[in-house]
Structure 1
Amino acid sequence: MNAPQPLPAHELATRHTDDRGAGVTTRPPRVLVVNPSRAAQLPEPATAAHLPELVEGGVLRRIPDPAVLVYRVTSGGHEQTGVVVEVAVDDYRAGRIRRHEATDHDRERRLAEFTERAGVEQLPVTLAYQQRPVLRELTARVASGEPDVSVTRECEEHAVWITHDTEIVRAVHDELAALAVLYIADGHHRMAAAEHCAAAPGSFTLAALFPSDQLRILGYPRCVPRPAGLPAPVLLDRLAGQPVVAGIEELSASDEIRPGQGTVSMYLDGRWYRLWLRQPSDASPRPATIHPLSTVDTVLLDEAIIAPVLPTGHAGHTPLPGRTTTATIANWCYEHHAVGFLPSPPRFDQVMAVSDAGHVMPPKSTWFDPKVCHGLFLRPSAAGR
């Protein structure tokens, strides 16, 4: 690569603000990156008061700006490669950074208070964009050699490549400036907390941006308290009587438990069942009138099956991590006298349709996997002002 040339970050950010039209605003991250060999020395939580000592001791590496940070996460056979940047909080307020899940306001407040006390952001919001071939080529070019940072966490590989090459920095941010919208994949509460912390316009927050076609969504299991004294045949009849349920079948030992689109797997009294869902037909004479939420299996499960049939409704269910095995779901239900539901995950085009229409799914509707690495990037909160 060519030798880096000076390029003031404020000029880069201003140029994209002027040229972007109604698109999003990004800027190179003012960030510290952890030294993997010294990561155990990182305090939990790290605060702004710790940063000078951590930099001096080599635990953290300060990245001069402007820079491009290419970030790759590998989990088994899955790989996703994106860039770490700062995004404008005003774009979230204006709907150019779009959410798809409801949030808990109390959790937003607690996260905002924690960030303000610590003075440091330790986990980027994960955002998705519709793929851009030039940006994909640029990130591949930067990530063609050995990474500057490599960390293994829970069988996942997290690698970071850092370049200050002027040509690449400009080209990457030109590509990002052409994006009309970004979609929150993981970090709805962190993005909302950043808005709480941003008292004045012009604030930024840390984000990892990935192309949407590289992101993986898993189904989010639900375990709902079983009504006392209600026999399984009666519960099955009530479920089958819901308008959205087209049919119920018991699965055999050889059947696939993980559901496909339009189905939900259910665990009840030691047996697995498949619920077939009725969905709006693509052959509708007026497809534009189909509500985007009505095509999402998780929403249909929460709103049209769990809520009307089980006493606690969808608000009373316990969500389990997306990687949870079917055996773990069965054990949890046995120990807690619960009914387990495993919906198929939304497709990303469904996520975008919900976001673009300004709607939100119930909390815990999507589990994006793998997650970004906590503590790999640290950004002083004051950098957003």
Structure 2
Amino acid sequence: MDGMIPTAGKEGYGVVPGSAEAGLDVQTVYEWEYLGEPLFVFAYTAMVVGRQCLALSLIALQVFSTRIQKMLQADAKDFLMQCDPASIGLAQSYVCEASKAFVRCFPPVSIIVALVVASQLILCQRLFYLMIRHGVLVDFQNLAPYKDPMFWWVVITCVLALCHFIFHMVVAEQQDMEVHDLKAVIDAVFFGLPALFYIIFLYMSYDVEWLLLPLSKFWEEDPEWALKTSSELVSWLNLDARATGPLHPESCCQVFIKDMAESMCIAAQMAPGYQAGGLDERATTAATAIKRQGLIQRAWIVELLMDYRMADDKSRHFRVAWSLWIFITALICFAAVALLALQIAKDVEDIVRGQHAEILGTVVTGVNVLCMVSVILIFLYDAWPSRSTSV
């Protein structure tokens, strides 16, 4: 294995439990292994994203389609409040336009965050199933949603968007307009319920481990292999790669999944605090402290799975599937940006015509667009590692 970390036997470390050196047949394909195939991984992720998109679509159809809104409410003229300074006052019109901008920004912002988080699920599922088959248990440390800036971005946008409907209720109450007051309540329900379901689904999608292999499935097909492997599993804590350095030094030699598993096995055993299949609490705390820096940091998994030197068929198939996923994700994300960019163009035209109350709303939309573009570019940069893929 030229160009890689020396094999376990040469350095005195234990062999990878699932490898041929351990006396086990790695050619046997178990039923649960298919859960790690690209088709199943992307199908599972599509299920997670799909229910979020369903909730968002209900909001988007109302916010961006007057025709659909009229189908839902026959007497409705517009889903959003009319921010006419002559009717509600100049100061109130600025508040109205700013909060209305958050209503429009919520669906595009949310779909981008949902796709970014879903991409992490794909990577974690794929790595987990590949490694456990070769005797390395990747222990993913779930990032709490409330520690992720992207999650707070969605929540704050949702809260400020709901303020638009609350403001509409207050104005209608002050002007004794019972019809408009009822309409504001109905609109708040039509927006609030799907938004609440979306946030709940997004919160749940941060938990990587709920999608992974149940213990019963691991044991039921071959208890003897499962017992042997379980007793020798090497635990690899998420993001230990940062502390141990790259698994694959610079080399043009072809490598395979078993080579990657062997390198991870050795690196885990070399890590400070390693004891009989795991890491002590001090090492766990250090790894968690590193993980909390920045957004969701799992780019090292992309570096492993997309390494062009991985010459086996499974790796090539995953690289193709991942490339297709990134392409589709990028199209959706930039379409979301384009949607708000068109809204900004329309708002600028209104400002030129003298509707100055829309200035604040345009600023809000513009800031969100800049944040969206930044997140997309960072995501795409992490999704395409420095060692570019060759499919």
Whether TM exceeds 0.5 here: the answer is: no
**Higher percent of residues as strand:** 1
Smaller-chain TM-score range?
under 0.3
Looking at CA atoms only, which structure, 1 or 2, has the larger radius of gyration?
Answer: 2
TM-score by length of 2: 0.21
**Higher percent of residues as helix:** 2
TM-score by length of 1: 0.21
